[in-house]
Structure 1
Amino acid sequence: MASSSSPRIWRYRVFTSFHGPDVRKTFLSHLRKQFGCNGISMFDDQEIERSHTIAPALRQAIRESRISIVVLTKNYVSSSWCLDELLEILKCKEEIGQIVMAIFYGIDPSHVRKQTGDFGKVFKETCRGKTEEEKQRWSQALTDVGNIAGEHFLNWDKESEMIEKIARDVSNKLNITISRDFEGMVGIEKHLDKMQSLLHSDEDGAMIVGICGPAGIGKTTIARALHSRLSSTFQLTCFLENIRGSCNSGLDEYGLKLRLQELLLSKIFNQNGMRIYHLGAIPERLCDQKVLIILDDVDDLQQLEALADETNWFGDGSRIIVTTEDQELLELHGISNIYHVDLPTEKEARKIFCRYAFRQSLPPYGYENLAERATELCGNLPFGLRVMGSMLRGKKEDDWESILCRLENSNIPKIDAVLRVGYDNIHERDQILFHLIAVFFNYENDGHVKTMLADSGLDVRLGLKTLAYKSLIKISTEGEIVMHKLLQQVGRQAIQRQEPWKRQILIDTDDIRDVLENDSGSRSLMGISLDISTIKDDMDISARVFKSMRTLRFLRVYNTRSDTNVRVHLPEDMEFPPRLKLLHWEVYPRKFLPRTFCPEHLVELHLEDAQLEQLWEGTQPLTSLKKMVLDSCLYLKELPDLANATNLEILDLSRCKNLVEIHSSVGNLHRLQSLEMVFCKKVQVVPTLFNLTSLESLVIMGSYQMRELPDISTTIRELAIPETMLEEFLESTRLWSHFQRLGIFGCAITHQFLSHPSKRNLMLVRSVTGIERIPDCIKCLHGLKELSIFGCAKLASLPEVPRSLTTLTVYKCPSLETLEPFPLAPGLRISLSSIALDWVEKQGD
């Protein structure tokens, strides 16, 4: 069927095809009266003169009717007029999605399908003298209409009850027909296109397809839109909603499955209170029917076993769509066709929010920043955008500001109630892991989290898998764990709902102050996360507070506001917990770490903006350390001996402006992958890095005293060059077989450099204030994939670029206003600022 995204306007609700002498004054008159009582308009053919061929007016009436009802009687096939009507009706079913219903009035459906019995005899008489093609088309049409599930007159004791049932069915079908409810809904067409490709509508076999994603992402909305769009092409349809929680009804497994089957069959046959007595009812009733069934919000395997255990329960062409937050449930049921719903783009999210907040697609003047903040707070989650938009509609700017400030640390109750359902249904140990990710490990690598929690008593591997299956987190192909920001709030609020003595993580400022100042912490405490910008007065930490916290593994002190003046005072004899794995303390207030500090179990040391002059003396047991961030430690003068940090992977010394020397032990960190030294202004020499075969990224910018590039391993992949000339760069790159990305920051770009052969695929030219043009020989870099040019104020022209280039980005180059056209590679993505955009358009001609 060719479907349209814009619903048709139907002139008639119902068209009936019938043999007048059989039913016009009896059955049809009663049906018309019942339709009138139900508010259903029916086409009246009284004024159309009958002839041997179907009249144009009748053909038009069929095409303008939403539903066609074919009343099949013994003499229906005595009329070629009726048979031509049937051909037109089935054509409309295929081409425009018309709903077709069949009523077998005193005739057996099998006689219609096979053209046998008295019905077949009449049909053969009508076919006499007709062409073979005409007879074949009529025969196929009768077979098709005979396969449509319909009302069989002989199955009813009272005709009046059958008529009432038909009227109800027609009303229901009109209510679920393709509507305008989803027309213009942001992003819905993209979802429907992807779903329809998974449904394989052209295949005959029955199929079960899953829609999976976190709460509030729009799974049910997508399923409703699909039901609206596709229902007309199925014999029977059913949207069974809110199945979640049905397994908690108190029934045993058998009783539960019976009840679920009763619900489905009652709804699909529109017969309230249907009773069944065995679990074969669904396959018995639906095995020969083409059905569309939506099972919404499934949360237990028993539900699927009861309602769609096998595809052979349903007729050919049937489609069963299951929405759930639980991917594992789908996989356990053998469902491999799964649509994972993604968040809308930022542009789509803003549009969704504005539709609810302002009843238009863009924010009015003055509300642009507020709308952007609100959208960001919702993390682009459609349900959150709808709720927040509706809540803020009609509010003044001052009210918006107050509400948004309040919601930065808590969810709207309506949003929280929806998102909490998945969290509430996981095991207590998985809830602990959920809390830890929400507070400490969002956007961290799964391997890093497993290391951090190795001795926690949690089954981290299974826990992460469970949270991902339940759509509470996502784990990328690179292993990055991502928890949606609204789910983070669910985790934080769940921690706060716990009894204080049960909390293993502290995040509330007042609770943490009480613990740190009065030494009142729980002995089962795993983590503390304190935002010092929320402290109202200076805090004096007790000297012995951490000594008793032998289970504390994660200590995070951070500052979300740079203008805070509150100070945290540490005593000289303070001790850190003995088994600390994460020490993240921004603006650490003392010149040294505690002298008794033993980092034997430390995995991550993050001391950004610390007042430190020295970390520690001598060597320390650092075999567990993997990440060391000393960014903006302005007073740090020397780096300690890191010889024992044999597993260190990331070392960030950026903006350590008084750091003079990089300890020679860095040259032996064989697992080091990334070394950053941005604006280390006093560093002159870096030890050789030639033996660091794991080193992939080296960033050395703003290091004015450095004159030579250190010896670098040939496995280096990414390099950002400092503003000073690095004399040995050209010679070194000849051996760099894995090199891919290069950033050039403020240094001179020579013809010799650009003409040098290299396998790099990205070049970044940034803040080169004196450069007016890039040499023509750049076109010879045949492996270059990406070229980005930022902030080159005097750059006036671009040369021809290599055909291998896939991405060209030029930003904040105000002198680059006119360009000489050059041929571009097919598919080249271009992002340009302050230049002649019409030149780009001409390249596509």
Structure 2
Amino acid sequence: MDSSCFLVYRIFRFRKRNKNISSSLSSSSPPSSLSQNWLHPVFLSFRGEDVRKGLLSHIQKEFQRNGITPFIDNEMKRGGSIGPELLQAIRGSKIAIILLSRNYGSSKWCLDELVEIMKCREELGQTVMTVFYDVDPSDVRKQKGDFGKVFKKTCVGRPEEMVQRWKQALTSAANILGEDSRNWENEADMIIKISKDVSDVLSFTPSKDFDEFVGIEAHTTEITSLLQLDLEEVRMIGIWGPAGIGKTTISRVLYNKLFHQFQLGAIIDNIKVRYPRPCHDEYSAKLQLQKELLSQMINQKDMVVPHLGVAQERLKDKKVLLVLDDVDGLVQLDAMAKDVQWFGLGSRIIVVTQDLKLLKAHGIKYIYKVDFPTSDEALEIFCMYAFGEKSPKVGFEQIARTVTTLAGKLPLGLRVMGSYLRRMSKQEWAKSIPRLRTSLDDDIESVLKFSYNSLAEQEKDLFLHITCFFRRERIETLEVFLAKKSVDMRQGLQILADKSLLSLNLGNIEMHNLLVQLGLDIVRKQSIHKPGKRQFLVDTEDICEVLTDDTGTRTLIGIDLELSGVIEGVINISERAFERMCNLQFLRFHHPYGDRCHDILYLPQGLSHISRKLRLLHWERYPLTCLPPKFNPEFLVKINMRDSMLEKLWDGNEPIRNLKWMDLSFCVNLKELPDFSTATNLQELRLINCLSLVELPSSIGNATNLLELDLIDCSSLVKLPSSIGNLTNLKKLFLNRCSSLVKLPSSFGNVTSLKELNLSGCSSLLEIPSSIGNIVNLKKVYADGCSSLVQLPSSIGNNTNLKELHLLNCSSLMECPSSMLNLTRLEDLNLSGCLSLVKLPSIGNVINLQSLYLSDCSSLMELPFTIENATNLDTLYLDGCSNLLELPSSIWNITNLQSLYLNGCSSLKELPSLVENAINLQSLSLMKCSSLVELPSSIWRISNLSYLDVSNCSSLLELNLVSHPVVPDSLILDAGDCESLVQRLDCFFQNPKIVLNFANCFKLNQEARDLIIQTSACRNAILPGEKVPAYFTYRATGDSLTVKLNQKYLLQSLRFKACLLLVEGQNKWPNWGMNLVTSREPDGHIVLYTPSSHLQGPLLMENLYTFEFELVVTSSEFVLEFRADRYKCALGRFDKFGVHVVWCHLDQYESKSPLVSFVGVASPFGGIFL
């Protein structure tokens, strides 16, 4: 910040060193299952005599078929208690399955296993599954029935503590919802279900494992809201976005979070790769897809799918969660999720794709678009792969952001680039960046190219045109350039957008950096070693080679060279460089916007030929005075030759009927424009700073569709042709600083569509034609600096749609026509600097006027009484109207008036009374009104007044504050340097935002000073004084104060009021900051305090600076230190310093306990705070 006031709150930290703190963690802290390294997938606890030959063997066989190897304690010798090896096996298993059979409770070994399993469930987060085999779960829970009889026998003679552990473990296990064999008709189906549940748990990745995926929570939350899991309906949703944006990751995280809420679940991934389209046998492909679906859904590898109705038969009564990832064809969807009726109630199907049109074609209504991460999120993603953490290493901050920009915030690109650069030095990074700019990583390309390969030839061609040439254009512009290339260009754009290959945003075409790079790579590979045989050239080196060696061919249709990319020297283009490029349609040699660098392209032998098929010719700083003699602009749509050496475009009257845009700005030698007789489609003509241009050709009148004509800074232009009146569609005319222009033609009034006219800086302009009144659509007229303009035509009153009229610094303008009162829609009128203006016409019906600028109208003596009719006026500037004697009393009837500026109105002696009628007045500035003696007392009744400036009003005696007990809330009052002010204040400041400046008001009486000092609500003030008042109980000489605090009141919020007296200062700085700097301790805490900007000015001696600040006190002793500085440059020092407590926040306060004591540097003070 430029200037501010800082309070440094220095903490002296009193640390206790506890040497007895244990370095080890408490063993009672349970480790998280999320970080557990499991030794075994499954531990089986069972009673062998009940299940070994039947249930157990069948479970083992199913587990083996699905690649699950459980731990079974068959080989262990059983003793009195389970040994360390078995304990390790139990604790090291991710899942424990308890097969609770009739005789399970007869084994002390089984019961001890159970106790340990339930302990692991509690402490390690182990997943526990129960199977009740021919036993009632209630009998297990309550230890009754046959199960209870067996258990009670085991308990005989056992310690009570052991028995209670067994009972608690059995009860807890029975409370776990498990499989009851009595509820299954087929035991084999139950075993398949158990195996599926185990597989799901083993494949489940806890959500915390996805913490490294930046922003994942926001995505899953949004998609979950689309899923509406509380509804019983079957719902199908789509996740849509470009390749590499993270759709697959998001869908996997979502599946892992939700799958446990469903009976069955599956993710079928990479569908478009494994089942590409088109295929020769569509039916077989569908069968294969369905087989994949069912195999994963019911966990059966050798699934037989004889017909396409199997999926519906098997899943119609099951609540399933199905994710179909990377779908690119309706055939795939028809095979796996043709209809919601295929699935049971509550099912959710998530289709992940790049193709929006596919989702809509399948009737999916709920679609989530995955947007690119923010810049900060993209940096975090990149850093996770480059550095293994979410922020760059020290010294890599800027280069990391550069690489992130190259990746275009695409997560796939960020991951690949981050992984590539990991563990490289900064120098290696710098060497790698040029390659990353120009080539696409193979992994990225293989992902992105799938969508491109699925396009028809016409869409592929459109994609390449956009990536190589038109990615920055608007849709309608592209439509013009490619009118002959595509029958329905907009349909092609929509296809590309649906496949996430580009986006259409408010009429603009936007394409991701990596997709652009994909297109460039595709073109480059058309002819790697002979660039002249490609469709497009965009690489600087390739273009230089083709232009200098004359190796272009008829294949080339576009060249785009950014001249700032030419690093070494210049390019000498061959005279016949374009001769063989007979199909060249788009040529662009350009600098970055606004870059006016030196010449780079040269044609030492001239230029013999350029393609007649050119539709775009953009050649900045063209080095010749004319285009080739045989150039035919017949197909030309846009020509931009800014900053060129042109004296004329071409010889002869060539047809330009297709031309829409022409820009010859800054062609300072341009003397002649082409014949516009055939330019019936021309919409924009820019001729900025064409210093040699004297006139426009009369044929300009044939450009009847011209919308914008820009002649800014054409300083030699003397006149406009009368044919300009034919431009009936012209909407904007810019003639700024056409300093030789004397007048406009009378036909100008025929330009009836004109909305904006800018004549600013036309210093020779003598008059505006009366025909201007015919331009009924005119909304903006700017004639600032037309110093020769004496009057406006009375017909200006006919421009009833005019909203803005600027006549700033029209120094010869003496009056405005009375017809201006008819400008009922006028909102902004600026007459500032019209030095000859004596009076204003009646405001009359200008009821919509919002801003009126009359600053420095030094001849203006009065305002019209009818100004009150401008009921919507909110801002009025009269600064510098030195001859203004009075304001009309009606001015206060403008109830919408918010800001009134009268600075420097040195003849103004008083303000009209009844100021309180201006109920919305917020800002009133009267600075340097040297004749003003007093303010009307009613001014203090304006409740919205927030700023009043009467500074340097040398004759001001009274503010008339005596009879007003309460001043407006949040008032900023600046009365600095009012040397005559003798003021008594009988008022109350109730708002803490009030700011008062009475600097150098040495006649201000003592009562007023005391009131300001002692009012706790007045937090910022300057007033005259030579010593710190006694009100500040704790005072010190010098610039620091030590505060000792009772530790009982630590972490409480305290508000202090400070008073500073400057003993030495420098007045050369207009703005200053009060840096309350840190004391000498290295571990201090800094609290920043900034006073109101209205108190900032040159530092003043013999004045008191008061302000408040609040601290949350965290230490029993701290030092307050003060020093005035600016940009760390000392401006002065304080001689005296005082502090008083005005407020504290304590839950309980005991007056017997001393809260704080203050010790001054030179004069110690002590005492009880409060």
- Scaled by the length of structure 2, what TM-score is found? 0.52
**Does 2:630 align with 1:507?**
no
Assess if the C-alpha contact under 8 Å between 2:643 and 2:668 holds in 1: yes
Find the counterpart in structure 1 of residue 257 from structure 2.
229
Counterpart Cα distance in 2 of 1:557 and 1:648: 26
Q: 1:153 to 1:454 in 2, by over 3 A?
A: same
Assess if the C-alpha contact under 8 Å between 2:462 and 2:492 holds in 1: yes
Counterpart Cα distance in 2 of 1:22 and 1:719: 100
Match of 2:224 among 192, 196, 202: 196
Assess if the C-alpha contact under 8 Å between 1:679 and 1:701 holds in 2: yes
Counterpart Cα distance in 1 of 2:1072 and 2:761: 25
**Does 2:589 align with 1:557?**
yes
Q: 1:20 to 1:595 in 2, by over 3 A?
A: same
Match of 1:645 among 696, 703, 708: 703
Assess if the C-alpha contact under 8 Å between 1:217 and 1:341 holds in 2: yes
Q: 1:751 to 1:432 in 2, by over 3 A?
A: closer
Assess if the C-alpha contact under 8 Å between 1:628 and 1:651 holds in 2: yes
Match of 1:35 among 57, 62, 70: 70
Q: 1:463 to 1:677 in 2, by over 3 A?
A: farther
User: Cα distance, 1:202 vs. partner?
Assistant: 1.6
Counterpart Cα distance in 1 of 2:752 and 2:70: 81
Q: 1:168 to 1:317 in 2, by over 3 A?
A: closer
**Does 2:590 align with 1:590?**
no
Match of 2:484 among 455, 463, 478: 455
- 1:29-85 per-residue CA deviation (whole Å, 9 max, x = no partner) reads 9969963269444277979999xxxx9x97995898564535355642653838999
Matches within 5 A, 1:396-475: 396-475=425-504
Report the more deviating stretch, 26-35 or 244-253: 26-35
**Does 2:521 align with 1:489?**
no
**Does 2:241 align with 1:213?**
yes
Find the counterpart in structure 2 of residue 312 from structure 1.
341
Q: 1:347 to 1:267 in 2, by over 3 A?
A: same
Assess if the C-alpha contact under 8 Å between 1:621 and 1:644 holds in 2: yes
What RMSD over aligned residues (CA atoms) do the two structures have, in Å? Answer: 5.4
Structure 1 unaligned regions, length at least 5: 1-5, 93-99, 110-151, 157-161, 766-773, 783-797, 801-812, 822-835, 839-845
Find the counterpart in structure 2 of residue 619 from structure 1.
676
Identity %: 34
- 1:451-495 per-residue CA deviation (whole Å, 9 max, x = no partner) reads 22222244312211111111111112x321111222222222222
Q: 1:377 to 1:87 in 2, by over 3 A?
A: farther
**Does 2:179 align with 1:103?**
yes
Find the counterpart in structure 2 of residue 384 from structure 1.
413
Counterpart Cα distance in 2 of 1:9 and 1:723: 75
Counterpart Cα distance in 1 of 2:642 and 2:174: 72
Q: SS state of the match for residue 605, structure 1?
A: strand
Assess if the C-alpha contact under 8 Å between 1:211 and 1:341 holds in 2: yes
Aligned residue identity for 1:594: W
Aligned residue identity for 1:643: G
**Does 2:594 align with 1:538?**
no
Find the counterpart in structure 2 of residue 301 from structure 1.
330
User: Cα distance, 1:390 vs. partner?
Assistant: 2.3
Structure 2 unaligned regions, length at least 5: 1-31, 64-68, 73-88, 144-167, 608-625, 788-804, 809-815, 836-848, 855-866, 878-896, 902-918, 923-969, 973-1069, 1074-1089, 1095-1107, 1111-1170
Matches within 5 A, 1:646-795: 646-651=704-709, 669-672=727-730, 727=806, 734=823, 736=825, 752-753=852-853, 776=899
User: Cα distance, 1:261 vs. partner?
Assistant: 0.7
Find the counterpart in structure 1 of residue 19 from structure 2.
none
Report the more deviating stretch, 323-332 or 621-630: 621-630
Counterpart Cα distance in 2 of 1:15 and 1:716: 86
Q: 1:314 to 1:493 in 2, by over 3 A?
A: same
Assess if the C-alpha contact under 8 Å between 2:97 and 2:129 holds in 1: no
Counterpart Cα distance in 2 of 1:624 and 1:837: 67
Find the counterpart in structure 1 of residue 350 from structure 2.
321
User: Cα distance, 1:448 vs. partner?
Assistant: 2.1
Q: SS state of the match for residue 71, structure 1?
A: strand
Find the counterpart in structure 2 of residue 599 from structure 1.
656
Assess if the C-alpha contact under 8 Å between 2:704 and 2:729 holds in 1: yes
Assess if the C-alpha contact under 8 Å between 1:555 and 1:582 holds in 2: no
Q: 1:723 to 1:653 in 2, by over 3 A?
A: same
Assess if the C-alpha contact under 8 Å between 1:609 and 1:633 holds in 2: yes
- Specify the structure having the higher radius of gyration (Cα): 2
Aligned residue identity for 2:504: I
Q: SS state of the match for residue 542, structure 1?
A: coil
Counterpart Cα distance in 1 of 2:175 and 2:710: 70
Counterpart Cα distance in 1 of 2:371 and 2:362: 23
More helix as a share of residues: 1
Q: 1:460 to 1:719 in 2, by over 3 A?
A: farther
Q: SS state of the match for residue 475, structure 1?
A: strand
Q: 1:703 to 1:746 in 2, by over 3 A?
A: farther
Find the counterpart in structure 1 of residue 268 from structure 2.
240
User: Cα distance, 1:722 vs. partner?
Assistant: 6.3
Counterpart Cα distance in 1 of 2:573 and 2:339: 66
Assess if the C-alpha contact under 8 Å between 2:648 and 2:674 holds in 1: no
User: Cα distance, 1:445 vs. partner?
Assistant: 2.2
Match of 2:129 among 30, 50, 69: 69
Assess if the C-alpha contact under 8 Å between 1:699 and 1:721 holds in 2: yes
- Scaled by the length of structure 1, what TM-score is found? 0.70
**Does 2:597 align with 1:566?**
no
Of structures 1 and 2, the one scoring higher in RCO (CA 8 A, sep 6+) is 2
Find the counterpart in structure 1 of residue 371 from structure 2.
342
Counterpart Cα distance in 2 of 1:582 and 1:513: 24
Q: 1:610 to 1:67 in 2, by over 3 A?
A: farther
- 1:598-630 per-residue CA deviation (whole Å, 9 max, x = no partner) reads 432223334465455245244342223334455
Assess if the C-alpha contact under 8 Å between 2:234 and 2:347 holds in 1: yes
Aligned residue identity for 2:399: L
**Does 2:637 align with 1:581?**
yes
Aligned residue identity for 1:331: K
Matches within 5 A, 1:792-807: none
Q: SS state of the match for residue 559, structure 2?
A: strand
Assess if the C-alpha contact under 8 Å between 1:554 and 1:581 holds in 2: no
Assess if the C-alpha contact under 8 Å between 2:783 and 2:807 holds in 1: no
Aligned residue identity for 1:529: D
User: Cα distance, 1:284 vs. partner?
Assistant: 1.1
Q: SS state of the match for residue 180, structure 1?
A: helix
Counterpart Cα distance in 2 of 1:464 and 1:300: 19
User: Cα distance, 1:400 vs. partner?
Assistant: 2.6
User: Cα distance, 1:287 vs. partner?
Assistant: 1.1
Q: SS state of the match for residue 352, structure 1?
A: helix
- 1:339-374 per-residue CA deviation (whole Å, 9 max, x = no partner) reads 111111222222222333333333344333322222
Q: 1:750 to 1:468 in 2, by over 3 A?
A: closer
Q: 1:77 to 1:512 in 2, by over 3 A?
A: closer
Q: SS state of the match for residue 351, structure 2?
A: strand
Assess if the C-alpha contact under 8 Å between 2:763 and 2:786 holds in 1: yes
User: Cα distance, 1:279 vs. partner?
Assistant: 0.4
Report the more deviating stretch, 370-379 or 647-656: 647-656
Aligned residue identity for 1:320: I
Assess if the C-alpha contact under 8 Å between 1:721 and 1:742 holds in 2: no
Count matched residues: 719
Counterpart Cα distance in 2 of 1:295 and 1:523: 46
Q: SS state of the match for residue 274, structure 1?
A: coil
Counterpart Cα distance in 2 of 1:283 and 1:539: 71
